[in-house]
A and B are shown apart, each in its own frame.
Chain A
Amino acid sequence: MSYPAAVSQALESELLCLADSNWVLGHWYINCILNGRELTDFTSMAGIAEEKLGHARALFRFMEEHYELPEYQLEFARPADQVHGMELLDAPPGNWADFVLTLYLADKALWRFADTLRTGGFAPVANLVTKFGEEAYFHQLCIDGWLKALDEGERGDLAAALRGRLPPVFRWFHSPAPDPLLEAGIRTEPLAHAKDRFAADVQDLIESVPEGSSASSTALAQGVDPTDWDAQRRRPQGSVLPPRLWESMTPTSEAAKLARRPLAVSIDDNIDLFGKVKKDDTEPQF
């Protein structure tokens, strides 16, 4: 199925928001594995990280095929300022409660966002997202379990963390009208509805935290300054992923590069992905 250029471009941006946020989230788990509380937490975090990176890579591969992009460039050759990762995941976790809370918010928000595409008319994306949802159910179960097991002191940390984490996650849903994906039937409901569903999902947690409701109302009331908002990346204009987080995702040290699985194509060409360079199948591959 082919869509008009504006729809296709909007879909590309939204898929990158989904893929990149899963990519960053996967690295949150990897970077924090040693902060797990029990041996089984380490295993769980490694398992969830693997699946999050799997979701990101499945979307990258799909986009390479669909948009005829050069292989592996989305993952290995983009600069940080072209990455569409959630702003929520920019600040590192301050403690265990903040870590669990951020995972909880990010996972729920990603699912509500993806769910608008699951029921849409573009089958390849709808099918991918359905599969992601089956796995994300268990990720959310694990996070629910961690939240339930927080002790009294950690619940205090949760209240403090909530104030900082809610505004960026609510902002992430901001969408300028009209939404080309909604008009094309790729998305079946506006993101404003997805945001309402997300707010309903997290309401119980918010109400269980001291002053959670007021933090939530304040965060919801904070709008987005359209002149300072990059609607394609769903982040403030010009913002980039923090350097240390970015380095952990795309290591630049020689040892890390050597440890990578060899790729079939060079990623050193600095190809302009968004200029839509076509793959040249006549070029020799090695």
Chain B
Amino acid sequence: MPLGRSTSLDRVFEVFGRDQAERPLSHIGSIVAPNQELAVARARILYSERPWVELCVAPAESFMNCLQQGRDGRVGLA
């Protein structure tokens, strides 16, 4: 199997973090992973630049856009 493979199993997970208890949970980025276990582990390691009080991931396809049609499964303005 070649290095750097990207398989059809890969899914996008959105990552959310809160660095202080009184601050809101914010979208901090995305992770591509073939399963939920790797998404959680990778998010914890990749987004370790701050001592988060909360860090969580959710599959991108679970997000439904409330302002525009056709943008379900996408978070952020890109």
Residues of B within 8 A of A151 (CB): 1
Please encode chain A, from 126 to 164, with 1 for each CB lying within 8 Å of some chain B CB and 0 for all others. 000000000000110110111011010110000000000
Across the A-B interface, how many residue pairs have beta carbons closer than 8 Å?
66
User: Are the C-beta atoms of B40 and A37 separated by less than 8 Å?
Assistant: no
Can you give 6 contacting A-B residue pairs, CB < 8 Å?
A: A37-B1, A37-B4, A38-B5, A40-B33, A145-B35, A154-B1
Q: Which residue of B lies closest to A47 (CB)?
A: B45
User: Are the C-beta atoms of A38 and B9 separated by less than 8 Å?
Assistant: no
Please encode chain B, from 13 to 51, with 1 for each CB lying within 8 Å of some chain A CB and 0 for all others. 000000000000000000111111111111011101000
Q: Which listed residue, B1, B4, B6, B45, touches A44 by the CB 8 Å rule?
A: B45
A214 within 8 A of B: no
A interface secondary structure, majority = helix
Number of A interface residues in the complex (CB < 8 A): 23
Q: Which listed residue, B1, B32, B41, touches A141 by the CB 8 Å rule?
A: B41
Tell me, rounded to whole Å, the shortest Cβ–Cβ distance linking B31 to chain A. 7
User: Are the C-beta atoms of A138 and B35 separated by less than 8 Å?
Assistant: no
The 9 closest A-B pairs by CB, nearest first: A145-B38, A142-B41, A145-B37, A47-B45, A149-B34, A141-B41, A144-B37, A40-B42, A141-B37
B3 within 8 A of A: yes
User: Are the C-beta atoms of A142 and B1 separated by less than 8 Å?
Assistant: no
A197 to B49, CA, bound (A): 35
A258 within 8 A of B: no
Tell me, rounded to whole Å, the shortest Cβ–Cβ distance linking B56 to chain A. 13
- Beyond contacts A43-B42, A145-B33, A149-B7: 11 other A-B pairs, Cβ-Cβ < 8 A, are A43-B45, A44-B41, A44-B45, A47-B45, A48-B45, A141-B38, A142-B42, A145-B36, A145-B38, A146-B38, A149-B34
